Amino acid sequence: MRVIGPRIHGYIDVAMILIFALAPFVVGLGGPPALISWGLAVVYLLLILATRYPMGVAKQIPFFVHGLVELVIAVFLAVLPRTGGYAPGSPARRFYWTMAIVIGVVWLLTDYRGGEAETA
């Protein structure tokens, strides 16, 4: 059931940039977890600008590839707390697992082969 189109997905991507950029201050991330969060904000910004969909500027990356990058990000965030050694109950662990779930759900609900993305 793919109910999210390219335009709505673009708005969600903008929200992801804001979430990752502000998380170190709001959630209380510091050190490497904060740098990873800011890095993901930059990755999302570059992804938005380069994707061939309504929010894209350069329109070089197909929307389908955008989806694959987001799937990789979701998997990365799911394993990060374990590989990063974040303690159970730590803000970084809760934040990254929550974001992995959110990105995974958005990925499952988005129509990455939608016609609007190709004509945008």
Q: Write out the residue range of the structural domain in which residue 13 sits.
A: 6-115
In a domain, 89, yes or no: yes
Question: pLDDT for 38-86, tens place per residue?
Answer: 999 999 999 999 999 988 999 999 999 999 999 999 999 999 999 988 9
Tokens 């950029």 belong to residue: 21
In a domain, 40, yes or no: yes
Burial level of 89, CB count in 10 A (0-12/13-18/19+)?
exposed
Confidence band (pLDDT; 50, 70, 90) for 2?
confident
The tally of domains found in the chain comes to 1
CB 61 within 8 Å of CB 6: no
In a domain, 120, yes or no: no
pLDDT attached to residue 115? 53
In a domain, 84, yes or no: yes
What value does the mean pLDDT take over residues 99-119? 84
Give percent of the chain with pLDDT exceeding 90: 85
pLDDT attached to residue 117? 52
Burial level of 30, CB count in 10 A (0-12/13-18/19+)?
exposed
Mean pLDDT of the chain: 93
Cα–Cα distance for residue pair 94/87, rounded to 1 Å: 10
Tokens matching residue 8:
């709505």
